[in-house]
Structure formats: structure tokens, C-alpha cells
Amino acid sequence: MLKRKFRLPARQKLQRPQTRATPYFICRYAPNGLLYSRFGFVVSKAIDKHAVVRNRTRRVLRSFIEEKLNTITPGYDFLFILRRTIAEKTPELEKLVSSTLGGLTH
């Protein structure tokens, strides 16, 4: 589970975010002025009407971020907005996220 300090608060607004988009999700990120990065995930009911599917998708993405936390450049807030097509692509999710965060890892 992703520790609380790495979670983006629900009401946090990103100031002047940059955006990277894939067919499966949109990643918005902005500097946060902290010594660590924070991550937030938006999974709407449009993805699936069953909460089990939405929660599983969110958990898979969180676990991947947790594994790669040491390689992601600190000092950014990330907001992942998942699109409807993500439900079928859960196994390919790791590759998509790493390619999206490619320029922000060290």
C-alpha cells in the first residue's frame, strides 16, 4: 500500500500542470515543492459500474507506482485520470505507466 505521505490529497489542485496522454489514461503532473512525489488516481464509473473492477484497477496502478517509487524524480504531484479502455488493459498497465513517466525518472 502506498504510504499516506505519497498520496495526493483529494482536494489538491495542481498549479499549471503538464499533461501526458495515452489511450488508457491521462497523467497530469506539476512541481509540488516537497522532497517527495505524491500520486492521485481518478477512476470514474464510466470505466465500469462495478466498484470491484474500479478498485482493482486503482490497486494495480498504486502497486506499480510503489515498486517504482525510488526511480521517480521527487518533487512532483501526479494525477492519473483513467479512461474507459483501461479495464481491459490491466496487464499492460506497468509498461504504459513507465513509458509515460519516462522523462521523470532517474
Give CA–CA dist 21/82, Å, rounded.
10
pLDDT tens readout for residues 8-48: 988 888 889 999 988 888 999 999 989 999 999 999 898 88
Give CA–CA dist 56/89, Å, rounded.
12
Question: pLDDT value at position 95?
Answer: 74
Question: How is the beta sheet containing 76-82 ordered, strand by strand?
Answer: 18-21, 25-31, 76-82, 38-42
User: Which residues form the domain of 38?
Assistant: 4-104
Question: pLDDT value at position 40?
Answer: 94
**R_g (Cα) of the chain, nearest Å:** 13
pLDDT tens readout for residues 56-75: 888 888 888 898 888 888 99
Give CA–CA dist 38/19, Å, rounded.
16
Q: How many domains does the chain have?
A: 1
CATH number, domain with residue 64? 3.30.230.10
